[in-house]
Structure 1
Amino acid sequence: MSAEGARPLVGSHRHTPQPGFGKRATVLTAAAASAAAMTAVPAGAEPGEPSVASVNARVDGLYAEAERATEKFNAVREKVSDLRARVEHAQDEVARGQGRVNRLRNALGALAGAQYRSGALDPTIALMLSSDPDGYLGRVATLDRIGSRKAGELRELRTAQRLLDGKRERAKGTLERLEEERGRLGRHQESVRSKLTAARRLLNTLTAQERREREERASRGAERRGAVPPGSVSGRSGAALSAAHSALGRPYAWGQAGPGAFDCAGLTQWAYRQAGVSIPRTSQGQAHAGRRVPLSEVRPGDLVIYRSDASHVAMYAGGGRVIHAPYPGAAVRYDPVGMMPVSAVARP
């Protein structure tokens, strides 16, 4: 759904604004950067004042933009979570590697102490405990007094130290990537918030009656007409559909995956998790969950992906209806499968 931008004032005569519309014009100017240009003002509207239809179109456009930003946020958040786990694993490996190096050094130190107490420190042991064991190994062949056991212990120490250094470098690189992704996460988060704030400001320019009419239009499309009864579909698809149905009426909240609130992909992921099936967190990922089927063969429980960028997902409920988490301010509900352009259907 494309949003529309504000039309410049027409003519030079002054007029008396109707209640609520002066504020609307100001807010629309502030939000102009977040939506596309508006079409001509319909007949009957005050010159220069946006119509209710244009405000609704811009709000819908901002919601669509916010949803795209939300899916990017979800994707980056998954990556951050994965990198955080990898950092923790790398740090554990470094700690274990350091422990092994310490034990090997202690063993060599004990050998050196025994020799010292016996009367003199073997020069080869002194070399073993030096800060340059690699340099020592280059001289092993020339040291007649070194035994194979000592050489083996030093080689083991050298190998353990090299492994430890490699683990430290990998942990450092993973941590740097984690910090970069955290920065991206914050930027996507701010993008979602700014678009939702602009949408709220636009909605506030509507009168209470206009807002009620907007919600009534949405609720008329949310009826469950034709959808299959919960529990009438077998298998994991039926279990997922029943779970989604149990979430009816719970609020949309961006970045949430239940059980109290959901965004679009959060609802479908949560529903399939209740059926024991793991699917990706984002609508783009869910577009490739399982196998693709044509819309003409869609079945209850299938994932219906919307828009060319796959930025929205719903679950087919039968009878030409889907169940989904639509947008901020709305609850999980049923809508017609053709509510927006379908880009794919996936069967997990």
Structure 2
Amino acid sequence: MNIDDIIKVASEYPYKNLGDNVKLEDQFLNLEQLPQLLNISGVKNVIWKYKAKIIGPDLSIIKTATEKENDTELLIRTPVNKISIPWIFNKINQKVLRKLVEYLIPCKEGTSLFNISAWERYYFRDNSIIELKEGEVGDGRSLKDNINMKIEDKATVIDTGFFNPQFSYINPYYIQISDKLPENTYGISIELDGAFSIVSDSILTLDFKLGKIKAESNGKILVIKTKTTAEAKLHRLLWDITNNVIELDCKPPFPLSIYRIEPSSVIPLYINFNEKMGILDMIIENFSEKPVIATLYLASRISKIIEPKNISSLEYDRIRVPIRRWGILHISLEIKRLPDLLLKRKAI
């Protein structure tokens, strides 16, 4: 087993299982989310060279066993070393999302855009920028004002003016904060008096000298300027650049929102829809150091909750679920199409 096997667990949870026994290598302890990923993968016995209790940033715990046990149990906090482990979100299956739209809304002849992000986003098309509401199926709204965001191809240089900023970068299922620049990552934010965030659909190679940061990749590079890193929502930017807006051969009777998720820290790692059974599955994560109540709004009637069992509240078309800091959670729902009269209430 290698570290990639562990990293893939959350994006394939609850279907991926690493087996009953796992032998740790020292490098695995550089993965912040190691305890949680091992827990949700169904591992029963964790073997390492020392007897230890390992605690992750979400406060998940795993205990290790060894043939030659040390006298006292070591207490370890991950990561042992703050290093960059280049990681990007898995692409959501577009065929699944198209089926979800076809299941939920009546399609007329024509075309429209589908913002598969469960939040507002900007879509760069030709020389125009289109604003799309969360989960929107419609035409969006063209923008003319400067939004402090741009798309570059393969390379960019930004003069931040910062001498010793703080760096926040994407690691597997975690946003790492450091005073040192990582050499490689898919997403990074540089903050001092203001913030510059850079994400790419290909690995970024970075260099920072006297306030200037140079970023190179083999793909698109998105750059945004904000007051703070938190305002930029680095995790959402990376999700957006990984998952494109879909152009549909479907014209809804009115623009509407298929789904949205609150608060802004919560991201879908995986979406699947079984149209024969009407079962919607999502794996969500809270990219925040604080626990939250996550709310999922749908353009459907929720007829049955399969997972999780600890629902905070359920309404006709939405559920609220508690999710811990940096927590990963499986949601499985049976959904039904809304009557046209109720569907109009989802118009945006």
Same fold flag (TM > 0.5): no
TM-score, scaled to structure 2:
0.20
Q: Considering fraction of residues, name the structure with more strand.
A: 2
TM-score, scaled to structure 1:
0.20
Greater C-alpha Rg? 1
